[in-house]
């Protein structure tokens, strides 16, 4: 199915700068005339708000299922309608976050891929990274929002897991852009993303394609 809008997702370790960069990217694209809708996961509906509110004590497979259920509902009720209305959708956290955050909770990747097998794949999956010390510094300045941001060892583990997630997404034929933000301002990062974004979504990505899946 062709669709006119582009789904651009931003993922990366907690505190790396996703929300800040997404705001800069939305401003940049709007300045250049693109209709933009910004959103986030967990989404801003009842299921998403429940998931966000309880993610500190619902863990592992149960949290993975909640996040995936919210994602399917988010796609159906918000993302796909906006894409169909020719808007670019910028989403703060999406599939790559699942491939990292749920693994921090000990959930195996094959389970996560099965659970997310039918989600809409992004036209561009941006993975923001930075030196772990820089991420820790940004987190300290901003303050931790949830349990995954409280352990000082987590940024280094997340950086490594996002490198693995990049390879998984590439095997799924998702265009991936990894950007190191250690030395870049949010607006410089936003400009790089805008340069790399596909002109419009003119290719069909088979959302059933799985890494190493011979289908
Ligand atoms: N180069 C940078 N890019 C993005 N954010 C940065 C940068 N330098 C510092 N920050 C700061 O890092 C903090 C965390 O950013 P935030 O967007 O909340 O992260 P996330 O959404 O990834 O958790 C914010 O205080 C932000 O202003
Ligand atoms: C998108 C996503 C979020 N989450 C969880 C992690 C966090 O507990 C919560 C939201 O994280 P986050 O976006 O970092 O929160 P904030 O907007 O306050 O900075 O959702 C997952 O566990 N898996 C996912 O795939």
pLDDT per residue rounded down to tens, the chain (215 residues): 445 899 999 999 999 999 999 999 999 999 998 899 999 999 999 999 999 999 999 999 999 999 999 999 999 999 999 999 999 999 999 999 999 999 999 999 999 999 999 999 999 999 999 999 999 999 999 999 999 999 999 999 999 999 999 999 999 999 999 999 999 999 999 999 999 998 764 444 344 444 454 33
Helix (H) or strand (E) holding 124: strand 124-129
The residue whose CB lies within 8 Å of the most ligand 1 atoms, and thus the one to mutate among 13, 20, 101, 184, is: 20
CB neighbour list of residue 92: distance below 8 Å, 6 or more residues apart? 10, 18, 19, 22, 38, 39, 40, 41
pLDDT at 200: 64
**Residue 29, in any domain of the structure:** yes
Structural domain boundaries, residue 181: 7-196
The pTM of the whole model exceeds 0.90: yes
**Residue 212, in any domain of the structure:** no
Q: What's the ipTM?
A: 0.96
**Residue 86, in any domain of the structure:** yes
**Residue 189, in any domain of the structure:** yes
- For the chain, how many structural domains are there in total? 1
**Residue 132, in any domain of the structure:** yes
Give the Å distance between the CA of 181 and the centre of ligand 1.
9
Eight-class DSSP state of 149? G
The CATH number for 16's domain is 3.40.50.300
What does each C-alpha distance from 205 to 12, 62, 94, 195 come to in angstroms?
A: 23, 28, 17, 21
C-alpha–C-alpha distance, residues 123 and 160, integer Å:
23
**Residue 207, in any domain of the structure:** no
Helix (H) or strand (E) holding 92: strand 88-92
**Residue 73, in any domain of the structure:** yes
pLDDT at 117: 98
Shortest-distance ligand to the CA of residue 20: 1
């Amino acid at each position: 199915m062709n669709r006119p809008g582009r789904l651009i997702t931003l993922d990366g370790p907690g505190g790396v700068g996703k929300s800040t960069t997404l705001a800069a990217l939305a401003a940049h694209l709007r300045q250049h005339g693109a209709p933009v809708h910004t959103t986030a996961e967990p989404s801003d509906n009842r299921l998403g708000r429940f998931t966000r509110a309880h993610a500190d004590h619902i863990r592992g497979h149960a949290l993975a299922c909640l996040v995936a259920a919210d994602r399917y509902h988010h796609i159906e009720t918000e993302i796909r309608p906006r894409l169909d209305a020719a808007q670019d959708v910028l989403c703060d956290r999406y599939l790559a976050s699942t491939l990292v955050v749920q693994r921090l909770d000990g959930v195996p990747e094959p389970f996560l891929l099965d659970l997310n097998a039918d989600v809409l794949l992004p036209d561009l999956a941006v993975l923001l990274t930075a030196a772990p010390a820089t991420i820790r510094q940004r987190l300290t300045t901003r303050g931790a929002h949830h349990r995954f941001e409280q352990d000082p060892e987590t940024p280094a583990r997340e950086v490594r897991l996002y490198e693995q997630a990049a390879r998984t997404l590439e095997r799924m034929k998702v265009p991936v852009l990894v950007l190191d933000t250690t030395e870049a301002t949010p607006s410089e990062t936003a400009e790089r993303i805008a340069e790399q974004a596909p002109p419009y979504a003119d290719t069909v990505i088979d959302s059933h394609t799985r890494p190493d899946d011979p289908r």
